[in-house]
Every structure is written in C-alpha cells, then in structure tokens.
Amino acid sequence: MSSTKTAAICIIGDEILSGKTQDTNTNWLAKQLFDLGVDLKRVEVIPDDEADIIETVVRMSRTYNYVFTSGGIGPTHDDITYASIAKAFGCTLEDRAAAEREPATIVAPSHTDPGSMVAMRMTSARLRMAQLPYPSTAHFTPGLWVPLCVVNGNVHILPGIPRLFQAMLAHYLPDLANRDGLGTEPFYRRAINTNRGEGDIADALTAIQDQYAADGIKIGSYPTFGAFKQGGYRVCVTVVGRNVPLVDQVTQAIAEAIDGRVEPLQTPKH
Amino acid sequence: MSSTKTAAICIIGDEILSGKTQDTNTNWLAKQLFDLGVDLKRVEVIPDDEADIIETVVRMSRTYNYVFTSGGIGPTHDDITYASIAKAFGCTLEDRAAAEREPATIVAPSHTDPGSMVAMRMTSARLRMAQLPYPSTAHFTPGLWVPLCVVNGNVHILPGIPRLFQAMLAHYLPDLANRDGLGTEPFYRRAINTNRGEGDIADALTAIQDQYAADGIKIGSYPTFGAFKQGGYRVCVTVVGRNVPLVDQVTQAIAEAIDGRVEPLQTPKH
C-alpha cells in the first residue's frame, strides 16, 4: 500500500463566521478527497485577517501533503488571501495572470446571460486579482481567467464561490491524482442501518472495531434521531477502509451482530 | 462599550472530514453568537482522535472566552470526547449524570413515537455516556438526560446531532447571556445588493471602509454568481457593526456610491 496522503482545508471568510453563509465547499471537497484516498485531517474556518491566514497556511503547509484555501481572492478590500499567503511564504505579488494570458481571454460570466462569457473592463481592482504570488504555479480552468494558484508546492488558493471552487477543482484534481498516483487506493465506505439504539449495539461494535483496527478499518456509529421519524432507521453504522473485501467482510459481521440492514452501494457514490 | 467576548467552535467527527455529513451546527451557532454580539473567531473540524481533541480544546480554552465542541459524546467506541477533554484538563470521569438524576428520568425519544420519551435500559454503554468529566458544571435541558457539560470554565461539550445540539443551546444560551451580559450590544448587519460587478465597486468600497474602520464597521463584498441567474443581484455588500445608526449611515453611503439597493431588515433576522 502506498503511504496515505493527507490534506487540510482553510476556509477564509468573515461571512462564514458571522453565520451569513453556510460553508458547502468543505463537504464537496471532502467527498472528492475521500474518493481519491486522501485523508482530510483538519478544516479551519478563519477570518479575513492577515495574521490568521499566515499562521494557518504556514502550519498547514508544513503538516499536510495538500492544503486548500477557499475565499478572499476577489477584487475588493476584504480580499487579502493572495497578499497574505505571498507574505507567509516570502513571495512577491506579480501580474502573472495578465502576462500569461491574452487580454482577449480576460472574461467573466455575462450579466444578462450568465451562461456565456464577456470581455471585462480591466479596472485597478480587477488588476489586483491578477496579481498572483511569485513564485507559484498557476493552473488555468477553461472559461475562467483567475487561475488556481499553488504556493510553496502544496498550498492551493481557491475562490470561495462554490461554483468556481468546484469548477477549478473538477478540472485540477484529475491532474493532481495522475501526478501523485492518487485514487489507486480510494477509501471505500459501506453502511449498515439498524433500528436498535446505539447503547444496545455499542459493545458489539467495540469488539469488532478492536478486532480490525490494525487492518485500517474504521467503524463509525451515527444516531439519526429525527430521520427515523420519517421512516428511516435509528442508527447508521459505517465501515471505512481501503481493502474492499475486508470492508465487505466487516460489514457483514456487523450486520449479523446488530441485526442490521446493509445498504446497497449508491451510484453516484454520494 | 463592553469588551467583546470571543468564541471558537470545535467540530469533532470523522464523518464530517470524510464527506459523509455536511456540518450545519457551525452555521446555526454562528447565527446565535452574532445575535449575542459574541465574536466567533475560529472553527476547527478535527477527527475523533484523542491527541487532536486535547491539543485543540486546550489551545481554544486559553485563547477564547467561549469554546463549544460538537460530537463524540454517544455511547459507542468512536465517542471519545468526554474522556479526551477530561484528560486535557486533568479531570476524572465520574457518574455525575446518574448521580444527579433519578433513574426514572433517564429517557430517550421513543422509537415508535419519536415525539415522546421512554425509559431506557441502562447498558454498560449508556452508563459510559453518564460518565462526565469532573470537575465540571452540568446544565440539563428539559426532556434530555445528557447534560451540556462545561469543563475548565469555558469549554462547552455538545452532541453532534443537530436537533440535540440546537435544543441544548437554545435552552442554555439565554442563561449564559444573562450571566455575562451578552446581547446588550449585538452585531447588526445591513445588506446592499447591486448589479454592478465587484471590480467596478471595489474602489468605492475601499474608500468607505477606510473611513469607518476605526469605528468598528466591517464591510464585506460577496459576488453571488449563479444566484443572479435566477433574478437575484450580482454582488451583495454587507455592513456589520454594533452601532445601529452608524451601520445605517454607512449602508446609505454605499448604496449611493455603487447604485445599490438596500435590503429591508428580515424578520426573523436569519
């Protein structure tokens, strides 16, 4: 088995901390990383504050294989991610995007027809968005003029807008997977539902977890409350691992021990 | 003005990091804290891992006025929050809940009728849930036998299930607000929508933000993409502060500068 790659996500945004916005980028990326077999170890939500950004990305870059930041790369005064990350790693800020792309390709979704792209007037604020940390690697997504910028070899700077966040990563992750050999041993999850309570199944689960812990099998137990009100089950037990036959074997053992129902695999997986 | 109280949230759960579950407790609590005028400074999502839990809660308890943890207090093997936090602060684990409540009150939502509560069989696993860190303060919520347990004076241990997380805090936060004088100077947010792009309004926003930054006014700018496709606006600008007349004044100034529409205040606020 190849050594497991680890990842962390840094969500940069006052709007998440003030409750204005529900973060959904974490859940979307967590699913992608799970399918690639990358172990997402930590997520931190921090304010649009230079000191917070610097402390967090430096620590994460040192600790995990991949770091993904979300938010703060727009053209307004509260968008300080590029400058803060540049400072964190001793980079300068340079007009790299503008230099690497023809002016004609500097476009944005049309206001009247969001499905199409229109040329944008280059204001001083928009030029600020084109100022990327240097040295860095810029990965362009078709149809978007702001690149996914990678600093210090593993810090991936992404926008907070979910549609752009997802578009950039959907384009980039397959290349990353190919480069680093990810996805050859993805995580695999099975679920067993039961109407018995957590307190009643806990001892059986503990025994099975103890038996298989050394094989990299992780058993989780999640009461659903509310959910079984609508005809669902009371507790959902999950089995996660990379060894498919072993996950299936543990799943069967749990189903028998707790009188549970093994859920069919879902397509698409999520 | 009273000094601002700060808070941090620690979400404990492999199911969030693996993408199985979308965290919603953060957004719900962030809104409550905003209304109480408490400054939520940081959210961290960590695995069900003792070392991670200890490092995180000790650091947060030292740094912020209030810490809220979510998850890992059920009766199964993967629920290690009580024990880990006890270890973090040199507490023991004792049968405090069982000792403080009559056995007849140890109940759970009925399986056949989730609206009602039924007596629970005390298994060894359930007794483990009754083992709380000591010393700590236990706050009981009517209808729930697991208390909100507070360790080291400011670490609030909550379940991950949103319904229980919310029920406990809805019961507890008014008492906390009363004790600490919270809510007398809540945060106040106004929103201005515009169809002009972020790049076009950035310079005006920067000038206004610079003018009012010393007065505790925070201006945020959030492109909506997708949203304006369905008839919404292109950018939402927010003004947040504690001084209501000043927030209104800045809101008007921005609306005039960027040709924006001031949104009516919403009831309920969120």
Q: Answer whether A124 sits within 8 Å of B203, measured CB to CB.
A: yes
Mean pLDDT of B100-126: 53
pLDDT digits (tens, 9 = 90+) for A247-266: 999 999 999 999 999 988 76
Greater model confidence, B125 or B61: B61
Mean pLDDT of B105-130: 56
Q: Answer whether B22 sits within 8 Å of A20, measured CB to CB.
A: no
pLDDT confidence of residue B128? 65
Q: What is the spatial distance between Cα A18 and Cα B170, in angstroms, rounded to a whole number? A: 18
pLDDT digits (tens, 9 = 90+) for B250-260: 999 999 999 99
pLDDT confidence of residue A246? 96
Find the closest chain A residue to B75 by CA distance. A199
pLDDT confidence of residue B105? 47
pLDDT confidence of residue B221? 95
Place B131 in a pLDDT band, splitting at 50, 70 and 90. Answer: confident
Q: Which residues of B108-137 are buried (b: 16+ CB within 10 A; e: fewer)?
A: bbeeeebeebeebeebebbebbbbbbebbe
Greater model confidence, A233 or B64: B64
Q: Are the beta carbons of A220 and A237 closer than 8 angstroms?
A: yes
Cα dihedral A158, A162, A164, A168 in deg (nearest 10): 60
- The mean predicted confidence, pLDDT, of chain B is 87
By Cβ distance, the residue of A34, A197, A205 closest to B108 is A197
Place B125 in a pLDDT band, splitting at 50, 70 and 90. Answer: low
Find the closest chain B residue to A45 by CA distance. B43
pLDDT digits (tens, 9 = 90+) for B9-20: 999 999 999 999
pLDDT digits (tens, 9 = 90+) for A19-66: 999 999 999 999 999 999 999 999 999 999 999 999 999 999 999 999
Lowest mean pLDDT of A90-104, A156-170, B141-155, name the range: A90-104
pLDDT confidence of residue A268? 44
pLDDT confidence of residue B126? 62
pLDDT confidence of residue A118? 54
Q: Which residues contact B131 (CB under 8 A, 6 or more apart)?
A: B82, B83, B93, B94, B95, B96
pLDDT confidence of residue B108? 55
Place A124 in a pLDDT band, splitting at 50, 70 and 90. Answer: low
The dihedrals phi and psi of B242, each to the nearest 5 degrees, come to: -100, -20
For residue B198, which residues of chain A lie inside 8 Å, CB to CB?
74-76, 125
For residue B52, which residues of chain A lie inside 8 Å, CB to CB?
42
For residue A126, which residues of chain B lie inside 8 Å, CB to CB?
199
Distance from CA of A34 to the nearest CA of B (A): 6
* Chain position carrying tokens 């505790």: B216
For residue B126, which residues of chain A lie inside 8 Å, CB to CB?
199
pLDDT of A212 strictly over 90:
yes
Q: Are the beta carbons of B147 and B97 closer than 8 angstroms?
A: yes
pLDDT digits (tens, 9 = 90+) for B177-186: 999 999 888 9
Place A183 in a pLDDT band, splitting at 50, 70 and 90. Answer: confident
pLDDT confidence of residue B104? 39
Place B1 in a pLDDT band, splitting at 50, 70 and 90. Answer: very low
pLDDT digits (tens, 9 = 90+) for B88-99: 999 999 876 554
Q: Answer whether B114 sits within 8 Å of A225, measured CB to CB.
A: yes
For residue B29, which residues of chain A lie inside 8 Å, CB to CB?
19
pLDDT confidence of residue A226? 53
Q: Answer whether B24 sits within 8 Å of A23, measured CB to CB.
A: no
pLDDT of A222 strictly over 50:
yes
ipTM: 0.88
Q: What is the spatial distance between Cα A241 and Cα B210, in angstroms, rounded to a whole number? A: 52
Q: Are the beta carbons of B142 and B124 closer than 8 angstroms?
A: no
Find the closest chain B residue to A32 by CA distance. B19
pLDDT of A116 strictly over 80:
no
By Cβ distance, the residue of B47, B202, B206 closest to A41 is B47
For residue B203, which residues of chain A lie inside 8 Å, CB to CB?
123-125
pLDDT digits (tens, 9 = 90+) for B234-248: 899 999 999 999 999
Q: Answer whether B75 sits within 8 Å of A202, measured CB to CB.
A: yes
Q: Which domains does chain A have, with CATH numbers?
A: 6-180 (3.40.980.10), 188-262 (3.30.70.1130)
Whole-number Cα distances in Å, B159 to A2, A160, B199: 36, 29, 43
pLDDT digits (tens, 9 = 90+) for B2-48: 578 999 999 999 999 999 999 999 999 999 999 999 999 999 999 99
By Cβ distance, the residue of A21, A161, A225 closest to B223 is A161
Among left, alpha and beta (phi > 0; psi -120 to 50; other), residue B225 is: left
